Amino acid sequence: MRRIALLLVLVAGCSSTPEKRPGGYYKDDGPGDARRVAAVPDAVPRAEPLHRYANRPYEAMGRKYVPLTQVGVFKQRGTASWYGKRYHGNPTSSGEKYDMYTMSAAHPILPIPSYARVTNLANRRSVVVRVNDRGPFHASRAIDVSYAAAHKLGFIAQGNAQVEIEQIVPAGTPVARQ
C-alpha cells in the first residue's frame, strides 16, 4: 500500500502543470542577471545620422507605421513592456545586436537611432534609452525597453508599467516639430 501511495505522489509530481512565471514575460524570456545592471549607465545622447533603411514606412501584424524621419519634439504616454533573454543577441531593426544589458528600446515610430527619456509614472524613476529597434506591435503598448532599463524603472516583476516617453534632442541636432 505504501508503494502505491509513493508511486501516486511521484506520478503527480511529474504531471504537466503549467509553470507560473511572475510578470508579463514569455516562457523563455525571463529576467537576466540583476547584478549586471547595477552599473549600467543611461544612454548618452549624441547626434547620430539616422539609419538609411530603418526609418522607412513599414507594416507589422497588419498595421502600417510611418516612422519619424527627424529627431524632434515628441512626448507620449502609454504602456511600456520589456524584452530580455529571448531576443538577446538577435539583430535589431538598426542591424545592431540586441543586448539586454544596455539602455536601449524599441519604438514603432521614433527615429532610429534616437534617444528618449522614459519615466515610470508609478514610482517616478527615469532612464535615458537609445532607440535602435522597432516594436512593440501590440495596440496596447507604446514602447519596449531592454531588461536593464526595465529593471532600473522598477517593473520587471509586473511585466509592464505606465510611462511617459520624451524624445531627447542632442546638442547640434536640427529640431523638427512633430
Q: Looking at the predicted structure, is the pLDDT value of residue 160 above 70?
A: yes
Architecture of domain 23-177: Beta Barrel (2.40)
Structure pTM? 0.81
pLDDT number for residue 172:
73
Task: Give domain limits for the chain.
Answer: 23-177
Cα dihedral angle (162, 118, 78, 54), rounded to 10 degrees?
-140
Mean pLDDT throughout 107-124? 98
Q: Tens digits of per-residue pLDDT, 27-45? A: 555 566 777 788 899 999 9
Q: Which residues of 17-32 are buried (b: 16+ CB within 10 A; e: fewer)?
A: eeeeeebebeeebebb
pLDDT number for residue 83:
87
Give the separation between CA 159 and CA 178, rounded to whole angstroms. 30
Place of cell 504531471: 15
Q: Which residue has the higher pLDDT, 37 or 103?
A: 103
Mean pLDDT throughout 48-73? 95
Mean pLDDT throughout 125-139? 95
